[in-house]
Copies of this chain bind each other. A is one copy, B any other.
Amino acid sequence: MSLSTSELESKHRPLLDQALAATRSRDYFSAYPESPSPRVYGETAAADGKTAFESLLGKEFPLTTPGASGTVATEKSPFGLPLDVAYSRVAPDGLDALLSAARAGMPGWRDAGPLARTAVCIEILARLHARVFELANAVQHTSGQAFVMAFQAGGTHALDRGLEALAYAYDEMTRHPRTAIWEKPGRDSPIRMEKTFTTVPRGVALVVGCNTFPTWNSWPGFFASLATGNPVVVKPHPGAVLPLAITVQVAREVLEETGFAPDLVSLAAEDPADRLAATLATRPEVKLVDFTGSSAFGEWLEQHATQAVVFTEKSGVNTVVVDSTDSFRGLCSNLAFSLSLYSGQMCTAPQNVYLPADGIETDEEHKSYDEVGAGIAAALDKLIGDDKRAVELLGGIVNDGVLNRLESLPPSARVMVESREVRHPAFDDAVVRTPAVLGIDASDTDIYEQECFGPVSYLIATSGTGESLQRLRSTVTEHGAMTASVYSTSDEVIAAARSAALDAGVALSENLTGPVYVNQSAAFSDFHGTGANPAATASYTDAAFVAPRFRIVQSRRHI
């Protein structure tokens, strides 16, 4: 053991305390600076990170995986950069060895206690932070996020979310004293007992990563499960392995240095034909599953992994209700940004924009339905009309599924803004597209009552805001949503929108016309997802996300 846990406890306790305070206030807090500027990270940080990333390409990734045999290389950069990183492959016949190795370290990790485990996890975050430029490159070239977004959403913001999950987990694990004296008044003398409460893990935790946000969506569950004492098996999306391979590498390194079993964390890279996630998720040893991805597989997990607690984030139909605005320009440019960011390949990107068929009142003048469409088109043109600028916002199209959807849009819809191919100045083979905006009617439910993941949104003409809100309520209740937003200058409409959002169980943003976008959620302040509608069964991060990950075992004795 080259690093003592008590050292780590002292080192990270101040940050933990700050994070704990932030979870209580839900005020602004960030531990990992989001600006990739040399002024923050040093002159050579960006280049060093890029070099570190490049040194991993075309090779076998150095990681020990119990039960693995052979390798797989399944990633493809949306920017066209050849990756060819090979990972130890876990085949179904290797799962016994993998899970048994994972479980072997549990007693030692459990006995270390909440503070030591949390401090070890914060050290893992610190080491990931030290490799944040390398991670940003890895996220960029697997997810297709543009670099700055990959640095933030895939790096520093993801680190903040990880820390947030740790703070909640630590708080719940320590809400009871380690030892309590129980003294019951008795007839003659009191009855006294000493009671000891120990948090114990549930079992093996499985984290199933996604292609678009391999770190941001995986780290909360990863750290919540690990801090509460559970070994974690990470099953990355075959298209986004590298960011999670680095995560597992760092975690194993810190576990080993602190004297714990490195096999408490392992990477289960797969040949996609193996459908390893389904097999793993239903193993009796697996007691926790965190999944981000399709509704189809998410629902399958909820229905079949009944031996485990399953946390899912799936898909939904994110909704915007446009009633009126005191800043038509602000509305259009804010919405244009939300539609463009990472080509709408975010679980939080708006899709269904309801507005009255006869238009809306604005600060400029009454705007007809078509004029609203034109306003958004103009804002999009301003934002991403220039290819060189556009690529830094749009990023690349993550996979063929998204591209296919974009190329087979519903023929009955009116194209209000056409999608176009964008040429990336740095990567010839990058696949970059601008968002399409389609005009449809409220009766076209077959089009908009399902998620069209990617750069596609609908301007849906309704009979008025009353119908818009009713559609919000019904579509979100039935099909789910991660986000909703409303634009209105009327207090009554805002109140009605809040009420609809509460009924439908979706987070609401009101009148975003400035530098905050509906698809962005800030760690320690915004809850990501609610778990109250079909889009997700979990929220980053609340007590329900962490409390079921451990149990309390007591012993009692007379004193």
Contact residue among B110, B172, B502, B548 (Cβ-Cβ distance under 8 Å from A502): B110
Known: A543-B175, A547-B542, A547-B543. A195 touches B552 (CB 8 A): no
- CB neighbours (8 Å) of A548 from chain B are 544, 547-548
Decide: B26 and A176 in contact? CB cutoff 8 A: yes
Q: How far is A558 from B200 in the complex, measured between Cα atoms in Å?
A: 43
Near B by CB (< 8 A), chain A positions 261-312 give 302-303, 306
Q: Which of A538-555 contact B (CB under 8 A)?
A: 539, 542-544, 547-548, 550-555
Interface positions, chain A 303-355, Cβ under 8 Å from B, are 303, 306
Prevailing SS type, chain A contact patch:
mixed
B558, A182: Cβ atoms under 8 Å?
no
Q: Specify which of B175, B303, B552 is in contact with A306 (CB 8 Å cutoff).
A: B303
Task: Check: A89 CB closer than 8 A to any chain B CB.
Answer: no
Chain-B contact segment, one of A78-86, A136-144, A521-529: A521-529
Residues of the B chain whose Cβ atoms lie less than 8 Å from the Cβ of A193: 516
Nearest CB in chain B: distance from A189 CB, A: 11
- Report the bound CA distance from A507 to B555 in whole Å: 6
A515 and B26 contacting across the interface, CB-CB below 8 Å: no
A544: chain B residues within 8 A (beta carbon): 547-548, 550-551
- Chain A interface: which size bin? 35 or more
Determine whether A198 belongs to the interface, using a CB cutoff of 8 Å to chain B: yes
Kindly provide the distance from the CB of A112 to the nearest chain B CB, expressed in whole angstroms. Answer: 13
Indicate if the CB atoms of B498 and A555 lie closer than 8 Å.
yes
Q: When the two chains form the complex, which single residue of B184, B498, B506, B547 contacts A28, counting CB atoms closer than 8 Å? A: B184
A509 proximity list for chain B (CB < 8 A) = 555-557
Give the residue of B508, B522, B554 whose beta carbon is less than 8 angstroms from that of A555: B508
A532 to B498, CA, bound (A): 39
Residues in B with CB closer than 8 Å to A552 are: 527, 530, 539, 542
Select which of B180, B183, B555, B557 is within 8 A of A501 by beta carbon.
B555
**A358 within 8 Å of B (CB atoms):** no
Known contacts A554-B526, A555-B498, A558-B516; A27 and B511 CB within 8 A of each other:
no
Interface residues of A (CB under 8 A from B): 24-28, 107, 110, 172, 175-177, 180-186, 191, 193, 195, 197-198, 200, 202, 302-303, 306, 498-499, 501-503, 505-516, 522, 525-527, 530-532, 539, 542-544, 547-548, 550-558
CB-defined A-B contacts under 8 Å, sample of 19: A24-B175, A26-B176, A26-B182, A28-B183, A107-B503, A110-B502, A180-B525, A198-B502, A202-B532, A505-B551, A507-B553, A509-B555, A510-B555, A526-B554, A527-B552, A542-B547, A542-B552, A544-B551, A548-B548
